Structure 1
Amino acid sequence: MTRSLGATDWRTANRANWDERVPIHVAGSFYDLPGFVAGRNTLRDFEVAEVGEVAGKELLHLQCHIGLDTLSWARRGAIVTGLDFSAPAVEVAEGLAAQIGVTTARFVTADVYDAVQALNGRTFDIVYTGFGALCWLPDIARWAQTAADLVAPGGFLYLAEFHPFTDVLAEDGRTVEGDYFQRDPIVVDAPGTYADPNAPITAGLTVEFLHGVGDVVSALAAAGLHLEFLHEHNRGHFRLAAGQRVPQVYTVRAAKVR
C-alpha cells in the first residue's frame, strides 16, 4: 500500500525495516548463506570484468547489507571495508568474514551520507555500490559528492544498479504502470521483503526514491569524477518474452584524476 510521506522520517523508517529484514535474509534461501560460506560468489560476471583486478587494492562497499558482495571482492584479493546503516546487518557481515576466514575485511555501521566522517576521511582505490542501493537515498547529488570524496586520486567509483526504466514496468516486465520522472518520495507500508514476500515484518513502512540515469551520471560529473563508461545490460529480475529486450541493469565507472 502506498501513501503520502507526511511527517515520516525516511531514514528512521528504512533503518527499522532493514534491521528487521536481517534475520529473515540470513535464514532464508534467497541469499543462500550456506552456499556462500561454501564458496559461492555473489558478483555478476560483468561486474568482475568491468572492475578488473582488485588484488591488493583498497575497496569500499557502500550500503553493503550483510556483506556478501563485500566478501566476494575480498575473496578476489581486495582489502575491503563495508559500510551500512543497519547494525544487525554489520554484525552478520562481521560474523561471515570470521566464518570464512577473511582477515582483510572490516565493517562499519554508519549512514552512507556520514561515510566520510565515519571513515575518518580515508580514501579508497575503488568505491563500489551494488544493486538496490540508490533507491533508498533522497539526495543523489549528496551521495555522488560523498562517493567522490571517498575515492583516492587515481581510483574510481563503480556502480552496478537496477535500471530505473524497470521501475515503470509492472511485474510482468511488459506493462508500463509508473512514471520514470517521478521524484516525490514513494512511501510503502507492507509486510515482507523481496527475499520473502510473506515474511511477518512489523516495521513495514519504507520510503524510496527514483533517480534517472541522467540524474546519477550528472551528479557524478558535478562531483568531479570523470566518466569512463556507462553500460546498460539486459540482465535483471524480469523474465521477458523471447526476443524482448529492455535495459534492466546499468553500470557506471567514474574515475578521480590524479
Structure 2
Amino acid sequence: MELKEYTRANREAWNEVMPKHQKVNKVDLDTFFARPGFVIQTDKDVLRMFDKISMKGKDVIHLCCNNGVELMSIKNMGANRCVGVDISDAAISEASERSKKCNIDCEFIRSDVYELPEHLYNSFDVVQITSGCIGWMPDINLFFNTCRKVLRPEGFFLINEIHPFSELLPFDNSEVENRLQIVDKYFHDGPIIENTSLDYMGGEQYDAKTQYWFVHTISDLVMALNRNGFRIMDFIESTCDVSAGHRKIEQLNAQIPLSMVILSEADGKIGN
C-alpha cells in the first residue's frame, strides 16, 4: 500500500470512533476548560520539560492533536500562537468548538501531517506530539522531517509517547492472564492490521474500520531524529501508562517502561 492509503484508512477509523469518545468525556472537558487557566497535563516529566524550554510566549504546534485539550492547556500556560493539526475531521471539529466556547485562542487544522500546508513551515518554537501519534505514522523518518520543517532554527521537538517495549505485552482487553507475558514481537516488517475497537475511553466493543498501526523501535526513533538534525537533550523512560491500554501492568509496579518523554533541539543539518 502507498502511504496515502494508510493515512486515509486511519482517518476513517478515527472519524468512526470520535463520537464514542465524545459521549464519555465531552461534557467533563467542556466543564474543565471553562475554568480560567485549566491545565490537563499532570505528568511530572512532561511538566519538567515544559519548564525546561519555557512554554510562555512560545509559538507551539501540536501534530496529531486529537481533540486539542493538551494544546489548549499549553495556551493556558502562557504560550503565544498555538496551532493543532489532526487527520480526524471529528477531532478537529470538537477541538475548534471547545476552544471557541471556552475562549481559548487556538487554531485547529484538519490535515494529514504528511501534507501540511507550507505556510506552517519555519513558524514555530516548539512542535509537540503526544500519546498515540507515532504508531499511526507509516514513515517515521518522513514524519520527523515534517516536524523539523515547521520549526524555526533551534526550535524544540517534544515527544511524550507510548514506549515501543509495551507493544510486546498484553493489552488490558486481552484474555492473557499473565500481564507480563510476551505476546508480540518487537521488530515488525510492516503494519499491524486490525479491525478492533479504538474506544479506549468508554471501552465499547464494535467492528471497527480497518486501521494500520506501525511499531517503531527506539533505534528507529533515535536515528530518525539524528537524520533530521535533532539533538537529543533529554530522554526519560517511565512506568506510567499513557496509552490507556496498559493500566493493569502499570498497577503491578513491575518497573517496565510503558512511556517515554524525549526532548530534542533542531540544531544540526538534515542527513540521509
- Taking structure 2 as the reference length, the TM-score comes to 0.84
1:84 corresponds to which residue?
86
Partners of 2:30 and 2:102 within 8 A in 1: no
Partners of 1:14 and 1:205 within 8 A in 2: yes
Partner SS, residue 248 of structure 2: coil
Cα RMSD (Å): 2.4
Deviation per CA, 1:158-190: give whole Å up to 9, x if none.
001010100000136411101011131111013
Identity %: 25
Partners of 2:30 and 2:98 within 8 A in 1: no
CA distance in 2, matches of 1:243, 1:21: 31
Q: 1:229 deviation in Å?
A: 1.6
Q: 1:127 deviation in Å?
A: 0.3
1:175 corresponds to which residue?
181
Moved over 4 A (4+): none
1:211 corresponds to which residue?
216
Partner SS, residue 247 of structure 2: coil
Equivalent AA in structure 1 for residue 231 of structure 2: H
Partners of 2:191 and 2:213 within 8 A in 1: yes
Aligned positions, number: 251
Deviation per CA, 1:26-48: give whole Å up to 9, x if none.
12149942443344532223212
Structure 1 98/243 Cα, relative in aligned 2: closer, same or farther at 3 Å? closer
Map 1:168-247 onto structure 2 (within 5 A): 168-171=168-171, 173-198=179-204, 200=206, 203-236=208-241, 237-240=246-249, 242=252, 244-247=254-257
- Taking structure 1 as the reference length, the TM-score comes to 0.89
Structure 1 alignment gaps of length 5 or more: none
1:65 corresponds to which residue?
66
Q: 1:199 deviation in Å?
A: 5.1
Q: Is residue 2:127 matched to residue 1:127?
A: yes
Partners of 1:26 and 1:33 within 8 A in 2: no
Deviation per CA, 1:21-72: give whole Å up to 9, x if none.
2222112149942443344532223212112221111000000011011111
Partners of 2:198 and 2:208 within 8 A in 1: no
Equivalent AA in structure 2 for residue 187 of structure 1: I
Partner SS, residue 16 of structure 1: helix
Structure 1 204/224 Cα, relative in aligned 2: closer, same or farther at 3 Å? same
